[in-house]
A and B are shown apart, each in its own frame.
Chain A
């Protein structure tokens, strides 16, 4: 009887689509979250999702395809943040604060001025995981495969540029290119996942699974395996719980992820807690 209840949501096609999309989004954010967390740019997920919101609003107003408008806007914002931070005139946090809040405010102003429905703002801010289409799933799958491919092929360069950028430059690694590549992957990830989980909650999915994985392992390779598994599992469990508890899917996913982090934090011992404390800007 219980098993039938647990499987009840799978009778609905919209739930199946939402489940696939959320699980893929969790794995995707988990992979990139490792780089976000280890580079001390946890705030960037939050910032970039706001920047992409500006692009989404502009595309709605100008009747441009969502993925094209928001994608270009997000990539430009990401690269701009990376360049400002790299010049070291401003810290990465200040660069993110300036570029993304301006972009977010621009999006709000555009929607206000041209009278777009309030519903579209809410859909982007909080996501609508149960309203995802096969096109959304195809987009998330494509980006997941792309990110996975890049991480596998450029694994050592990504590791070198993240751990020791100065020596990586000396060793002939194109660190600036790698940073731009990461920003582009992050922007595209936010673009395809924002309709699933919403801009406000994306940053949590970028940070929490990676931070949890950091407590469990001392190896970069293992962290890169664990983080997407934790992200995908949080989404899977969160989606099912949200159906049975009748709560928002995005919020439930983040709460499950946070619960996994808290449990690991309490069980992992002092050494593991020190590892997380040492992460920048968590």
Chain B
């Protein structure tokens, strides 16, 4: 493992009984990278994240983490029990399991307040998690991961089931964290709202289909191999926009798509 790598898996295969979730996947993540993993449901995105954390065992291949690396994991909000009796402050404090006594120290309380304030959640320590807005709920779990002082942040579908405004909030938050030096790896279904804004994308469908920038990966050929269905790709302001194949393209949009293909062929 090279010194600037923080996580890597080589020829990784994950299986649940006879059901193979991932096959022969090789991914190397360097410190400070911001990586998105895209693919259809059941393509092995969450299995890959969990394998990188060590929570899922490899059937074949290997997973390596740089020595002493601390991983912050942010689960899908759908998996959270919002009726559990827990306040925002308690969500953060639970990660400090090295200090097991229930009461929180003044130092920890100040640290928690700082993390919450940095994520726009200042003063919400005593609120129940259900009483927060969608964006705040997602940020609480980012805050929990950040409070554990991770070297790398793994997020499973951070924009799943949230409205447009919340998606913007989360995207800005992640870009801020990345700008401050955090290594971030996330899975997403959101090709236009999230994936196309990331510096590096990995398209998977049980195996790695493509790995590169959005301009290299969000192209019809790769997307068809990833999702098993043809998709249109347009460009707006230098950003790729993925459209469902059933979307009725106007003549002008068809021309734009054709021009984009030609320009990419001329300047790959």
B81 to chain A: closest residue by CB: A163
Contact among B73, B101, B148 with A153 in the assembled complex (CB-CB below 8 Å): B101
Instruction: Give the Cβ gap from B187 to chain A, nearest Cβ, in Å.
Output: 14
A166 touches B100 (CB 8 A): no
Given contacts A163-B94, A218-B128, A219-B90, contact A38 B84 (CB under 8 A): yes
B86 touches A152 (CB 8 A): no
Within 8 A of A (CB), among B38-83: 50, 53-55, 71, 73, 75, 79-81, 83
Instruction: Give the Cβ gap from A72 to chain B, nearest Cβ, in Å.
Output: 29
B96 touches A219 (CB 8 A): no
Contacts of A223 in B (CB 8 A): 85
Contacts of A275 in B (CB 8 A): 83, 85
Q: Is B102 an interface residue (CB 8 A)?
A: yes
Contact among A160, A166, A219, A279 with B95 in the assembled complex (CB-CB below 8 Å): A160
Contacts of B73 in A (CB 8 A): 167, 170-171
Q: Is A195 an interface residue (CB 8 A)?
A: no
Instruction: Give the Cβ gap from A30 to chain B, nearest Cβ, in Å.
Output: 15
Contacts of B54 in A (CB 8 A): 170
B99 to chain A: closest residue by CB: A156
Contact among B84, B101, B148 with A163 in the assembled complex (CB-CB below 8 Å): B84
Instruction: Give the Cβ gap from A254 to chain B, nearest Cβ, in Å.
Output: 23
Binding site secondary structure of chain B: loop
Contacts of A166 in B (CB 8 A): 55, 75, 79
B94 touches A170 (CB 8 A): no
B85 touches A156 (CB 8 A): no
B100 touches A155 (CB 8 A): yes
Within 8 A of B (CB), among A146-193: 152-157, 159-160, 163-164, 166-167, 169-173
Bound Cα distance from A163 to B23, whole angstroms: 32
Q: Is B9 an interface residue (CB 8 A)?
A: no
Contact among B79, B87, B96, B102 with A218 in the assembled complex (CB-CB below 8 Å): B87
Contact count band on B: 20 to 34
A-B contact count (CB 8 A): 79
Given contacts A171-B73, A171-B95, contact A155 B102 (CB under 8 A): yes
Contacts of A170 in B (CB 8 A): 50, 53-55, 71, 73
Instruction: Give the Cβ gap from B241 to chain A, nearest Cβ, in Å.
Output: 34
Binding site secondary structure of chain A: helix
Most chain B CB within 10 A, of A38, A157, A159, A170, is at A170
Bound Cα distance from A152 to B99, whole angstroms: 11
Bound Cα distance from A167 to B93, whole angstroms: 14
Contacts of A278 in B (CB 8 A): 83
Q: Is B97 an interface residue (CB 8 A)?
A: yes
A219 touches B50 (CB 8 A): no
Contact among B86, B97, B101 with A219 in the assembled complex (CB-CB below 8 Å): B86
B95 to chain A: closest residue by CB: A171
Question: What are 27 A-B residue pairs whose CB atoms fall within 8 Å in the complex?
Answer: A38-B85, A153-B101, A155-B102, A156-B95, A156-B96, A156-B99, A156-B102, A157-B97, A159-B86, A159-B94, A163-B81, A163-B91, A164-B94, A166-B55, A167-B75, A169-B55, A170-B53, A170-B55, A170-B71, A171-B71, A171-B97, A214-B85, A217-B85, A223-B85, A275-B83, A278-B83, A279-B83
A interface residues, Cβ below 8 angstroms from B: 38, 152-157, 159-160, 163-164, 166-167, 169-173, 214, 217-223, 274-275, 278-279
